[in-house]
Structure 1
Amino acid sequence: MSKQLKKGDAVSWDTSQGKAAGRVIRKQSSPTKIKGHKVKASASEPQYIVESDKSEKRAAHKPDELSQL
């Protein structure tokens, strides 16, 4: 079962530098781009747009890559 996160939820995820933390901006259910990177989201495989607390940059992550804090 997929996680049901909502806007504003605090989450963490793994990066090559260790753990990162941030918040959910929105659930993305259609293809989009973030800073030139393609996000292959769909209604059947949504991704979450998150914003890092440290860098304030946005990225897309699959639900299984995120841990709710």
Structure 2
Amino acid sequence: MADDLHKGDEVTWRSHGTTVEGTVEKKITADTEAAGRTVRASKDDPQYLVRSDKTGREAVHKPSALDEA
């Protein structure tokens, strides 16, 4: 689990049974639209916008789903 990530940090996460490597693009601390969906977040319960190194696609994950690479 990764805590207090910053833009540019390298992370990994699990997606469909594989490990994906990518980069933190942004810390989300308020409800917003990102990666094609509505994201529910707050300062006490943030989420992170990440970009896959392999595909370039964006995803949003809670800190518990991310590991520092």
TM-score (ref. length: structure 2)? 0.89
Identity percentage of aligned residues? 38
Unaligned runs of 5+ in 2: none
Query: Which structure 2 residues correspond to residues 1-69 of structure 1 after superposition, within 5 A?
Result: 3-69=3-69
Quote the RMSD (CA, aligned, Å): 1.3
Residue pair 2:34, 2:49 contacting (<8 A) in 1 also: no
Deviations 1:30-54 (A, max 9, x none): 1111243111111110001100001
Unaligned runs of 5+ in 1: none
Provide the C-alpha distance between the structure 1 equivalents of 2:51 and 2:26, rounded to a whole number of angstroms.
10
Provide the C-alpha distance between the structure 2 equivalents of 1:36 and 1:14, rounded to a whole number of angstroms.
19
Runs of 4+ in 1 over 4 A off after TM superposition: none
**Secondary structure in structure 1 of the residue aligned to 2:12:** strand
Moved more, 32-41 or 12-21: 32-41
Matched residues, number: 68
Cα 1:56–1:68 change in 2 (3 A) is same
TM-score (ref. length: structure 1)? 0.89
